[in-house]
């Protein structure tokens, strides 16, 4: 990229801005920001797509969260960058849901987007059904429970990390996870085929 330096004209504010802006890499924070936070895009995307009902909204939310994060970048003190970003993503999700409650309630749940990558055509239908059942049951969880489950099972975060991101005490994380799992168990109607046998997951009827 060519970075022309413009001559400073006496009263030309355009010139002024461009030169002061530097056009020099040292003045730019965004390459550093990208280096730290773009590697967490998949985590941000998975959290957003599982919290939001519609993939387009999830995309918008993730983009907005990244812009917010860039604006707050000066406040980033080198703590866990993934937790820092995910906290912004979930807050942006919640703000969006508050502002679009009606739309969110009316939105139809788009299963194919929420189902994991495991749902490929060549997969046997049994495991695809399982995956769909899990996806549907997770979607039915209250949002607080859902985000705890996603952060724990997908991101494998500790209770302390989840507590930091969601802004509640660790004890609350513990009880949310316990209750979420108990709901999931009844939703999935998990039965055990013997202690060491295969797990059978039977989907509930579609709502």
Partner 1 sequence: MTCEEARSLLSARMDGELDVPLRAAVDAHVKTCAACTQQSETLQSVSMAVRNGISRNTAPAHLRDNIRFALRGADYLERTQAPAQWKQWGAAAAAAVFIAALGTAPFLVNERNHRQTLAQELLSAHQRALVGREVDVVSTDRHTVKPWFNGKLPFSPPVADLAAHGFLLEGGRVDYAGGHPVAALVYRRRLHRIDVFIWPAGNSTPPARFESNGYHEISWKKNGFTFTCISDLNAAELAGFARLLQSQ
Work out the number of other CB atoms within 10 angstroms of the CB of residue 50.
24
Among 149, 151, 161, 164, binds partner 1 (CB under 8 A): 149
User: Does residue 42 touch partner 1 according to CB under 8 A?
Assistant: yes
- CB 167 to partner 1: min, Å: 18
| CA-wise closest residue to 205 among 141, 113, 139, 137 | 137
- CB 119 to partner 1: min, Å: 9
User: Does residue 172 touch partner 1 according to CB under 8 A?
Assistant: no
User: Does residue 6 touch partner 1 according to CB under 8 A?
Assistant: yes
CA 90, CA 94: separation in Å to the nearest integer? 6
Nearer to partner 1, 16 or 144 (CB): 16
End-to-end CA distance of the chain: 54
CA 98, CA 93: separation in Å to the nearest integer? 9
DSSP bridge partners of 200: 191
Among 8, 22, 103, 107, binds partner 1 (CB under 8 A): 22
Q: Which residues, numbered 93-112, are part of the site for partner 1 (CB under 8 A)? A: none
Among 57, 152, 164, 165, binds partner 1 (CB under 8 A): 152
User: Does residue 91 touch partner 1 according to CB under 8 A?
Assistant: no
Among 52, 54, 57, 62, binds partner 1 (CB under 8 A): 62
Which listed range, 64-72, 78-86, 89-97, 99-107, lies at the site for partner 1 (CB under 8 A)?
A: 64-72
Q: What does the buried/exposed string (b/e) look like for 93-119 if buried means 16 or more CB atoms within 10 Å of the residue's CB?
A: bbebbeeeeeebeeeeeeeeebbeeeb
Asked if residue 109 lies in contact with residue 68, where contact means CB atoms within 8 angstroms, the answer is no
User: Which residues, 6 or more positions from 23, have their beta carbon under 8 angstroms from its beta carbon?
Assistant: 3, 4, 5
CA 86, CA 193: separation in Å to the nearest integer? 38
In the complex, which residues of this chain contact partner 1 (CB under 8 A)? 1-2, 4, 6, 11-18, 20-22, 27-30, 33-34, 38, 41-42, 44-46, 49-50, 59, 62-63, 66-67, 70-71, 114-118, 127, 130-131, 133-135, 138, 149-150, 152-154, 158-159, 170, 174-175, 177-178, 181, 184-185, 188, 190, 192, 195, 199, 201
């Amino acid at each position: 990229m060519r970075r022309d330096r413009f001559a400073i004209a006496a009263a030309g504010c355009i010139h002024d801005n461009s030169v002061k802006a530097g056009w020099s890499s040292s003045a730019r924070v965004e390459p550093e920001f990208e280096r730290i936070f773009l590697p967490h895009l998949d985590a941000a995307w998975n959290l957003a797509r599982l919290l939001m009902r519609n993939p387009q909204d999830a995309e918008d939310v993730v983009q907005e969260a990244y812009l917010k994060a860039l604006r707050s970048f000066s406040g980033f003190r080198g703590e866990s960058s993934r937790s820092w970003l995910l906290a912004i993503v979930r807050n942006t999700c919640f703000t969006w849901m508050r502002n679009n409650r009606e739309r969110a309630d009316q939105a139809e749940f788009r299963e194919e987007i929420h189902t994991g990558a495991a749902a490929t055509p060549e997969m046997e239908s049994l495991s695809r059904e399982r995956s769909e059942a899990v996806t549907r049951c997770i979607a039915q969880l209250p949002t607080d429970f859902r985000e705890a489950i996603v952060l724990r099972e997908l991101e494998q975060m500790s209770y302390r990390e989840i507590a930091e991101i969601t802004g509640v005490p660790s004890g609350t994380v513990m009880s949310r996870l316990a209750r979420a799992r108990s709901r999931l168990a009844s939703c999935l109607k998990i039965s055990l085929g013997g202690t060491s046998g295969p797990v059978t997951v039977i989907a509930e009827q579609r709502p």
